A and B are shown apart, each in its own frame.
Chain A
Amino acid sequence: MSQHQELIQLQAQAENELADARDEKQLEAWRIKWLGRKGLVPAAVKQIGSLPKEERAAYGQAVNQLKQAVQAAFEARQQQLKEAAMAAELRSEGFDPTLPGRRPQIGRLHPSSATLREIAHIFAHMGFEVYTARDVETDEYNFQLLNFPKGHPAREMQDTFHTTTPDVLLRTHTSPGQIRVMRERYPEPIRVILPGKCYRYEQVTARSEMMFHQVEGLVVGKNITFADLKGTLQAFVDQLFGEGRQLRFRASHFPFTEPSAEVDVDCILCGGKGCRVCKYTGWLEILGCGMVHPNVLRNGGYDPEEWSGYAFGMGPERIAMLLHGVDDIRYFFSNDVRFLEQF
C-alpha cells in the first residue's frame, strides 16, 4: 500500500472514531490518541524524516492535508458536541421545580441559649460583662450572705434541693454569683450579668420546673441609684420586646435588695387589652430587681456608705415562652426535637 493510501485510511479511521466520541471525555481521549504529542497524526508527520528526499514534498503535502482535515474534523466535532450538550442542558422535559431540593442538614441553638444570647447581647452594649458562677453552692453563698439567715421566712419562697453534704445545695437563684463577683472584683466598680442554671425543689408542672435558667444583673458603683435601675431596664425591654414598651415597677420584697421591685411589661400578646396569657391584667411579670441591700454590699466587701448598686434577675425560659407563645415550661428540658426544631 502506498503511503498516500495509508494516509487516506488513517484519515478515514480517525474520522470514524471521531464520530464515536459522544462526550467531552471520549473526545479528549480521541484527541490524545490522534492529535496528542505522541498521537497518531504527529507520528505520521514525523515519518516524513524517514522518507527519501524525493518523496518528502509529496508526502509532506499529503500529511499536512491529513493533519488539517483531522484537526478541522476534531474542531467541528467539538463544536457539535458543545451544541448538543447545551441543547441537552436547555431541555426541560421532566423538570419540576416543586420537587424538594437537596437540603444541607441544619442545626439550631436551644431556645434557652438563643434567648440568653439575645439578653447578653443587649446588656453587652450597655457595658455589662458576662460572669459565670458555679451551680452547686453552699448555704452561706446561696442564702446567708444574701441576707437570708437560717430560719428566715423568705427561704420558704425558694424550696431547695439539698445535697447529702451538710450546707451544700443546688443554687436556687443566680444571686450567689453577686457575692462571688464582688469578692473577686473589689474595689473595682462592677457591671456584669450572671447567666446560669438554677434549681428549685418544686413539682414539675406546665408552670414550674425543677431546673431553669436565670440571668442576674449586678451593678456596683459610687453613684448607682434606683433611677438608674429603671433606666437600664427600660432600655433593655425596649430592645428585647421593641421600642415603646410600658414598664410597671411594683414594690416587692427580696432579702438581698432594698428597695425591691417586681417589673411587669405591658402584655406583648394583647397590647394590654387583656388576654389569657396575662390573666386579663394587661401585664406580664418579667423581672425582679432592687437596690443591693447594704448587708449584701458589705458581704461582698463594698462599704454601703460609699458604694451603692442594683441587681435584677429574669428567666430566659419565661421570656422565651412569652416571645414564642410556649405554654408549657416542660418542653425546654425534655428536649423533644419536635419542640426544638421549631426555633
Chain B
Amino acid sequence: MRVPLSWLKEYVDITLPVDELEERLTLAGLEVANVEYVGVEPPASVRFKKQIKPGDVVTGNGHIVWDKEKIFVGQVVSVEKHPDADRLTLVTINYGTEEPLTVVTGAPNLKPGDGGQKVAFATAGAMLIDAYADAFKVRKLKPGKIRGILSQGMVCSERELGLSDEHEGIIILPDDAPVGAPLADYLGDVVFDIDITPNMIRIASIIGVAREVAAITEAPLHIDMPTWQTSPPPAGDYADVEIIDDDLCHRYTASIVRDVAVGPSPFWTQHRLKLIGQRPISNLVDVTNYVMFEWGQPLHAFDYDKLLARAKAIGKDKVKIIVRRADEGEKFTTLDGVERTLDADVLMICDEAGPIAIGGVMGGLETEVSDETRNVLLESAAFEFINVRQTAKKLKLPSEAAYRFSRGVPPRLNPIGNVRGAQLMADLGGGDIAQGMIDDYPRPQPVIEVPVTERDVQRWLGIDLSQDEIIDILQRLEFDIRVEDDVIWATAPWYRLDVSITADVLEEIARIYGYDAIPETLLADELPPQRRNWAWELEERLRDILAAAGLQETINYSMTAIENYRKTFPDNPEDAPGPEMFVTLANPLSQERSVMRRCLGVSALENLQRNLRYTDRMAVFEIGLGYRPELGDGVLPKEIRLLAIALTGPREPGNWLHGDDSPMDFFDAKGVLEALFERLGASDDVEYRAESAHIFGPKAAGVYLNGQKIGNVGEVHPKVRAAFDLGDRPVALAGLQIAPLIPYIQTKKHLHPISNFPAVKEDIALVVDEAIPAGKVAALIRQTAGANLKDIQLFDVYRGDPIPPGKKSLAFSLTFQSPTKTLTDKDTARLRRKIVGRLSREIGAELREA
C-alpha cells in the first residue's frame, strides 16, 4: 500500500520526522518497505542518502529532488509561434521574479494565444529527468539556443520532474497554484510503501493508516463521516436489491447518481491516484478508486441506463439487482472483454436479465460506465472473503478490489463508502444523488466483546500493566471498553474484523505498548524432562566420521526425476520403480524435480555429473531422507534416513611427491565403510556379501549388519556411468540405512586390557581355491587362533607361477599376544599348526612354502 504523506496528513496530525515515523510504523507491524521522496529532499535525520549527479539513473519510480532555488510554480504570460519552427512555441513565464523569462517548448498542450496556465518551471542548472532516455536518467538543464532562440529554462512534463512516465505534454497545475513558490513546497511529497500482513487489511486505506498513526503516536485524528446531498425521487424508485446467497454476500448497498458528465478528474484527484500507483481514467472510474484507497471500500459503478435497457428488454420497468451463485457453466463476459465460463462457487451480481458482474472480482463489459454514461448505480458491498479469494485465483483476476474483499471488508463500511463515492461523483461530474440508499443487509456484522485482565497481560506478555494502562492503550485503538470487576470487556472498533479472542487483544496491547519496551527475561519455568535424540546424534557422528575420512558433505534436492531412476537400470529400464513407488508432486517447478527421491544414490550421481565439469576428483557423502510411499502409513510415505557415499577420480590428487593417483574403486568405498563401522564399534557385526544390484557392475557387495541387509557398496555399472555422463573412471557408490546403527552409539565401548607381555608377529601364506573369499579365510583364522590373536592383516593376494591355476595365495600377518604371559616359540608354533590344520581340513588350504 502506497501512502502519500500529504494525503495521510489530511486525517492525522504528524509532527514526527519522516524517518522516525517510518520506524514507528515498522515496529508496530506496518512494515515500511520503502520511502519515496517525491521532489523533496529527505530530512537531515535520514541516515542513508544517495547524492544524485547528472548521468545517474534513478531507480524505482524515478523521483528526484526539485531544487527550491531552480524549479518553481510559473504562470504562462503568453505563447507565441517560434519564427523558424512550426512545432515549437515561445512561452513567456512569470515565476515570481521581476522579469519573466521566455523559453522555447514543443509541448503540444500550449498553443499560441494561450495564457494564464500554471506550470512547473525549471531554470538553468536544475536537475531533471532526461525525457528522451530509456531509463530515469538525470540531466542538468543548461541554457541553449533552440533554432536560433536562446532558451534559459523549461516548462516541465511529469516525466522530466520524475513524477510519472507522462511526456505527452507539460504538467498543468491548478489555477490556485502560487506563482513563484518553489515547486517542492507546492507539489513535493513523501510516499511510504507499506507491506500489509494478512491480518491488517484495515490499513489498506489512507484512513486505516491514519488511525494506526494516531494510535501509535497519540496524535489527534480528524476523520469525518462522509455526508451527501440528495434529492427526490428516491433511489428505491430506480432499483431493488435482493441477496439470495447471503452466505457469500453479507451486505449490498446501492445508490443512484444522476446526470453526471464524464470527463477527466481534477488535478489533485489525479495526482493522488498517481502517487498511490493508479492510472487516472475518468472522473467516474477515478472516484471508485479514490474511495477505495481513502476508506478501503471497493466500489463498482454500473451504467444505470444500460441496466434499465436490459430490464426493459425483458418487459420490466425497474432494475433489480440479484446477488446469487452462478449456474454451473454459465457464461459471462467481463469488462476486459474475455468470455468466462463460471461454476456454482462463483458469486454473481445479476439483474433479472442475467449476470452483470462477478461479485468483488470484476464487472461486466455490457454494463460498465463509459464516456456516454449519464446515470450511475453505485455498488458498495461486503462479500465472504474466502470465496472472493478462490474466485479471483480461479479466474486469475487479481485486482485491488479483490485483494481487499478477499481479506474482509466490514459490512458497516459499505454505506460509508457509498455515501462518499456518490457525493464525489456528483461533485466531480456535476450531477445529483437520488434520496436514500438501497440496502440489503441480511448478515449484520458481529459485535464481539473480548475479556482481558491484568493477569492475562502478565501471563502472556510478561509485563505488569494496571487496568487503567490497559484501557488507555485499547482506547487509543478506538476499542469500546466496559469494566466488570477485574475484567476489561473490550469491543474492537467497527472497522476491524480481526479481533475475536483475548490473544488478539493482547497482541494489540503489546504492539502499542511497544515490543521494544517489553523486558528480556530468562526462562524461569520448570525445565522439561531432557531426552537425547539418538537419531540426530548418530547423524552428527556420521558427519564427523566421514569428514574426518576426507569426504565432503553435500545436501541435494529431495526432488528428482523418475527418468534418473530408469537410467540406473541400463539393461531393463522397465524394472525401475514405477510412478506408484514415488511421492509425486502435483505442481513441480520442472520435470527434473517432479518426484521425491527414494534413495540418495541417484542424487549423488546427479551431483557428480555437475561437478565433474570442474574437478576430476570427488569424494562426497550425504545424509538425508528417502521417501517410500509403499511403506507408508495411511496417506503419508515412510521417510527413511539414509547415507550415501560417492567416490571417483584419483585416490590422491597429483603432486610432486608422486602419491597414489590410481582411480578410486570399490575398495576405497568399502574402506570408508569399514572405517565408519570401526568408529561406531560395529565392525564385528558387519558382513559384506558378494551381490550386485541394478546400478552396479559385478564389483559390488551387500552390506549386512547382524545378518540384516542395510545397504550396498559397489562400482557403478559403466552403462549407468555413461547415462550420467561420468567419464571413464570407476565411480564407487555406497548407500546405507542408518537407523540400524543407532544402538552402537548408545552402547559404550568396553576397554580391552592392554597386555604388558611382548607381541609376536607371524606371517602365514595360504594357497586356496579362487572361489573361497578372503573374508572366510580370515574368519576361520580368527576363530581358530582364539583370544591370543590380537590382529590379523591381509597383506598380499597373489596369483600365478608357482601357484597352480584356479588357486590364489593369501598372505596374512598375524599378531599374537597373551594378557598373562610371554608367548614362546612353541606357543606360536602350536597356534600356527592348529590354524593350518583347520584350514586344510575345512577349505583345503595349503601352507605356501617360502
Contact = CB atoms under 8 A, between A and B. Distances in A.
B522 A106 contact: no
Interface residues of A, number: 96
A259 interface: yes
Nearest to A222: B525
Given A127-B527, A211-B558, A258-B504, A337 B521 contact: no
Interface stretch (B238-246, B528-536, B751-759, B838-846): B528-536
A324 B593 CA distance: 28
A188 B615 CA distance: 52
A261 B461 CA distance: 13
A336 interface: yes
A245 interface: no
Contact of B390 (A109, A151, A308): A151
A337 B520 contact: no
Interface stretch (A36-44, A57-65, A130-138): A130-138
A188 B530 CA distance: 11
A74 to B, nearest CB: 26
A40 B550 CA distance: 53
Contacts of B386: 150-152
A174 to B, nearest CB: 14
Contact of A109 (B197, B526, B553, B589): B553
A231 B520 contact: yes
B197 A252 contact: yes
Given A152-B198, A203-B589, A138 B522 contact: no
A122 to B, nearest CB: 14
A234 interface: yes
A112 to B, nearest CB: 6
Contacts of A225: 458-462, 521
B798 interface: no
B459 A112 contact: no
A145 to B, nearest CB: 15
A138 B385 CA distance: 24
B561 interface: no
B585 A337 contact: no
A249 B515 contact: yes
Interface in B475-507: 501-504, 506-507
A136 B636 contact: yes
Contacts of A304: 503
Chain A contact surface mostly: mixed
B77 interface: no
Interface string A90-133: 00000000011010111111101100010000000011011110
B528 A190 contact: yes
Contact of A161 (B532, B588, B619): B588
B459 A337 contact: no
A253 B522 contact: no
Nearest to A272: B47
Contacts of A157: 198
B644 to A, nearest CB: 12
Contacts of A308: 459-460
B199 A338 contact: no
Interface string B67-96: 000000000000000000000000000000
Given A153-B198, A153-B407, A227 B530 contact: no
A250 interface: yes
Contacts of B635: 138, 165, 167-168
Given A221-B525, A335-B611, A336-B614, A293 B516 contact: no
A27 to B, nearest CB: 22
Interface residues of B, number: 97
A226 B460 contact: yes
A203 B588 CA distance: 11
A102 B657 CA distance: 7
Contact of A332 (B462, B520, B555, B618): B555
A127 B652 contact: no
Contact of B519 (A162, A163, A230, A259): A230
A333 B556 contact: yes
A219 B523 contact: yes
A221 B524 CA distance: 10
Interface in A151-183: 151-154, 156-157, 161-165, 167-168, 170
Contact of B550 (A105, A163, A227): A105
B364 to A, nearest CB: 25
A136 to B, nearest CB: 6
Interface stretch (B27-35, B178-186, B353-361, B730-738): B27-35
B530 A136 contact: no
A286 interface: no
A255 B636 CA distance: 24
Contacts of A129: 528, 530-533
Contact of B559 (A211, A224, A260): A211
B636 A130 contact: no
Contacts of B97: none
A102 B659 contact: yes
A213 B463 CA distance: 34
A112 B622 CA distance: 12
B639 A337 contact: no
Given A222-B526, A227-B462, A252-B197, A136 B639 contact: yes
Contacts of B589: 201, 203-204, 210
B404 to A, nearest CB: 11
A141 to B, nearest CB: 9
B511 A259 contact: yes
Contacts of B521: 225, 227-228, 230-231
B554 interface: yes
B540 A117 contact: yes
B518 interface: yes
Interface of A: 99-100, 102, 104-110, 112-113, 117, 126-127, 129-132, 134-138, 150-154, 156-157, 161-165, 167-168, 170, 185, 188-191, 197, 199, 201, 203-204, 210-211, 219, 221-228, 230-232, 234-235, 248-253, 255, 258-262, 273-274, 280-282, 291, 293-294, 304, 308, 332-338, 340-341
User: 10 shortest A-B CB distances, which residue pairs?
Assistant: A227-B462, A225-B462, A105-B550, A251-B29, A151-B386, A253-B197, A107-B547, A221-B525, A249-B515, A280-B48
24 contacts: A100-B657, A105-B619, A106-B550, A107-B548, A107-B550, A107-B619, A113-B553, A129-B532, A135-B627, A151-B387, A154-B198, A161-B585, A162-B585, A226-B518, A235-B522, A253-B199, A259-B506, A259-B511, A274-B47, A291-B506, A333-B555, A335-B555, A337-B618, A341-B552
Given A129-B530, A291-B503, 7 more contacts: A104-B550, A107-B621, A113-B543, A168-B636, A221-B523, A235-B522, A304-B503
